[in-house]
Chain A
Amino acid sequence: MSDLLAEVARLLADDEHIGVDAVWISREGGLPLAVRVVPSAPEGSVPGAGPVGMTASAVTVILAATALPGKPEVGDLLAFGGASYKVATARQDERGTSYTLGLRRS
Chain B
Amino acid sequence: MPEIPIREAAMAAILAALEAASLTSGGYPVTVERNRFDDVAEGEMPRLVLLDGNQDPDGGDNLEARQTCRALLAGYLTGGTVAEVATAINRLHAEAVRALVRPYGAAMPGPIALGDAIHDIQITEGGLRVETPSVVESEAPMASFLLELTFETHSPWGSPFITVP
A: which residues have CB within 8 A of B? 41, 44-59, 85, 88-89, 102-105
Contact = CB atoms under 8 A, between A and B. Distances in A.
Q: Which 10 A-B pairs have the closest CB atoms?
A: A56-B138, A50-B146, A59-B139, A49-B146, A88-B135, A48-B144, A49-B131, A55-B41, A50-B74, A46-B137
Chain A facing B: main interface SS: strand
A88 B145 CA distance: 23
B131 to A, nearest CB: 4
A52 B74 contact: yes
A56 B140 contact: yes
Interface in B86-145: 129-131, 133, 135-142, 144-145
B135 A58 contact: yes
A79 to B, nearest CB: 13
Contacts of B130: 49
12 contacts: A49-B74, A49-B129, A52-B74, A54-B40, A54-B41, A55-B40, A58-B135, A58-B137, A88-B135, A89-B136, A105-B80, A105-B140
Contacts of A50: 49, 51, 72, 74, 129, 144, 146
Nearest to A102: B135
Contacts of B56: none
A55 B37 contact: no
Contact of B135 (A41, A44, A54, A104): A104
A54 B40 CA distance: 5
A47 to B, nearest CB: 6
A51 B41 CA distance: 14
A67 B83 CA distance: 31
Contacts of B80: 105
A46 B133 contact: yes
Contacts of A85: 139
Contacts of B133: 46-47, 54, 56
A78 to B, nearest CB: 11
